[in-house]
Structures are given as C-alpha cells and as structure tokens.
Amino acid sequence: MAARYRILFVCMGNICRSPIAEAVTRTLAQRLDPAALLDFDSAGTHGHFHAGEAPDARARRVALRRGYDVFRHRARSVIDADFARFDRILAMDEANLSGLQRWCPEEHRSKLGLFLDYAPGLGISEIPDPYYGAESGFDRVVDLCELAAKGLLADLAGQGLE
C-alpha cells in the first residue's frame, strides 16, 4: 500500500488563512480523486494565542458560502514534530515562512515553501491576512487558496502523489 502524503498549511494564528487553505485543498483533492492518499492539516506560528478555538466567524461564513467546511477545525500551534511528520509545509506569507525557516531542523527545510508558489503568474507571493479587515478579505483568501490548491494538486499529480 502506498504511503500517505501529508501537507501542513501555516499562518499566524490558525484561525483564518491556514484553515481555509486546508479546507479548500482537501475539498478540491476529494473532488479530483476521492481515493487519493493525501492528508491535510493546518497550524499557526502563533497558534497558542487561539489554541482550541474555531476559525474566525467570518472565515466560517465565507467558507460555508463557498462550499468549504472549516467547522470542525480547532486552532493549534506548529510543533517540533510537524517538521518530520509532514512532507510539505506551506506558509501563507513571508513572515511565517521566515519563522518556520529559523525553527525548522536543517534536514527538513526543503519541505518549506509559500502556498502561493503554486499559483505562479499572480504577481503576488503572499495570501494577505484578512483578520483586521472586512469580510470581503476572506473571500479574497478563498479565491487565492483555490488557485494555489489547484496548482499544488497538479504538482502532486505530476509527481504521482495523488
């Protein structure tokens, strides 16, 4: 039996961007191939501030409206074991990627990257943090996550990992 391939999405508090990225990617992966051996999770570099909390209410509303389930998610922090457990660790922005790079053991650094690297041609590399803005910012996060998730899944399929 083939091994499961594990992907971790990371933002700051794990209540907005990374749970949306996780839900979008999981949903799109299941639509493409329900038998795919892919696992998705999300965490925050500062997840301890929101540990155990559900995603932001605006994230829940927008995700539901767009067909994605984030309701079972509970915020958590990145932990040391995540670097070994996951095959790819994708940050939502440069600040979180930089923090992960400082923290990550050398042997796992090749797993780190930006989620939007899988949506080339956008002219941006970061998914903006919608927390202090209007609900429309959460719609933008979903839009960007959909584009990046499609690119990520295509990349995985190209490597025979779907």
CA dist 116 and 102 (Å) reads 20
Of 26, 104, 32, the closest CA to residue 68 belongs to: 26
The answer to whether 16 is a known catalytic residue is no
Q: Which of 16, 17, 58, 76 is catalytic?
A: 17
The answer to whether 31 is a known catalytic residue is no
- Strand 5-11 with 38-44, pairing: parallel
The answer to whether 11 is a known catalytic residue is yes
What's the CA angle centered on 85, arms 82 and 88, to 5 degrees? 80
Q: Which of 41, 82, 93, 129 is catalytic?
A: 129
Residue 42's SS3 state is strand
User: Given the structure tokens 């989620």, which residue do they identify?
Assistant: 115
CA dist 89 and 111 (Å) reads 6
Q: What angle separates helix 17-32 from helix 136-158, to the nearest 10 degrees? A: 50
Q: Are 113 and 97 in contact (CB under 8 A)?
A: yes
Residues that are catalytic: 11, 17, 129
